Structure 1
Amino acid sequence: MSINALINDNIATLREADALLGFLSAHHYGAVGPHLRHIVDHYRCLLTGLTCGQVDYDARERCRETELSVAKARRVISQLQDELRDIEADGDRPLPVRLATDAGGTSSVSQSSLARELQFVQGHAVHHFALIRSTLTALGSQLPDSFGKAPATLRHERASA
């Protein structure tokens, strides 16, 4: 898969988040805002890592306003989509990733690539979409059948129908 296809798939995933925000009430956003903030934090860490040469998913901004404000979350998602569109890098480009391995501050650095990290942040977003789906369903919201399901799950469901 080309880097452009991965970028476009990530933009589509963020578009799903924006579409969700387009119909959520402030009350319902309060229940799922932390998940959306967490998703955008991971995208921000990846994009920052491209600039500085190392991704650090523990260096998340944790912006409370993004957690609480639909408008702020939508602005951030739009910015992330724009930044993803502007990526001009080789998907196989080595990209070190730092991650804490315990609460005491120990961390390790692993070699990865832009393509692999785009796969990670997209899968991570879909995982949180599933949690969002569960929460919003419990609150009485109806969501598109595909929201919060991994592409492999959607293919399996289509093949099994």
Structure 2
Amino acid sequence: MIFLQLSAQLNSLSQLLSKLTNEQYSNKIEHLANSSIGSHTRHIVELVKCLVDGYQKNEIDYINRSRNLSLETDKIQAQNALMQLDSSIRLADKQLRVIVEESVGNEKQEVFTTFYREIIYNTEHTIHHLALIRVALIEMKLDLVDANFGIANSTIKYKQGIQNE
């Protein structure tokens, strides 16, 4: 089903958070422009939440989404948000509007999409940030995730296919 990959990514992040101390979670990583695992987690949570919240309004505005900076330092709050999102993403597909900024000036314009397409976008976006979190773990010399953490499902299948040849 369309939600399985996003759900798996949210759960793998939540499992990682349970292994981290608050200090590790909020540690600024030089090679990630001084962002932290917490800041990447917050960003993931906020974009998925923006999609779920926008579902009822038929409109998603990722740019002007609400931001909750406490998610960057409170890993328990972040884990709770991840669990809540995982239980709320299984909705029927429908057409939605995404608000985008015009490249010139402050004018906004709409792009039409579907909920399922945005689930796919959020899945890929989450994987991207998990890959960055993996860089943070490497820099902190923490071996806390499996080899597939932050890797797209299609890449995992491709690599398995090569190994089986």
TM-score, structure 2 as length reference: 0.86
Kept after mapping to 2: 8 A contact 1:45/1:59 = no
Residue 31 of structure 2: aligned partner: none
CA distance in 2, matches of 1:146, 1:105: 40
CA distance in 2, matches of 1:100, 1:17: 30
1:69-108 superposed matches below 5 A = 69-85=74-90, 87=91, 89=92, 91=93, 93-102=94-103, 104-108=105-109
Residue 11 of structure 1: aligned partner: 7
Residue number among 43, 64, 68 corresponding to 1:38 in the alignment: 43
CA distance in 2, matches of 1:149, 1:101: 32
Report Cα offsets for 1:34-65 as digits up to 9, x if no partner. 00000000011101110111011112222111
Listed as ranges, the gaps of 5+ residues in structure 2 are 27-35
Residue 144 of structure 1: aligned partner: 146
Residue 162 of structure 2: aligned partner: 160
CA distance in 2, matches of 1:68, 1:100: 30
CA distance in 1, matches of 2:101, 2:158: 35
Note the C-alpha offset of 1:80: 0.7
Kept after mapping to 1: 8 A contact 2:9/2:126 = yes
**SS at structure 2 position matched to 1:6:** coil
AA aligned to 2:23 is H
Note the C-alpha offset of 1:7: 2.1
Kept after mapping to 2: 8 A contact 1:42/1:121 = yes
Percent identical residues? 27
The number of residue pairs the alignment matches comes to 153
TM-score, structure 1 as length reference: 0.88
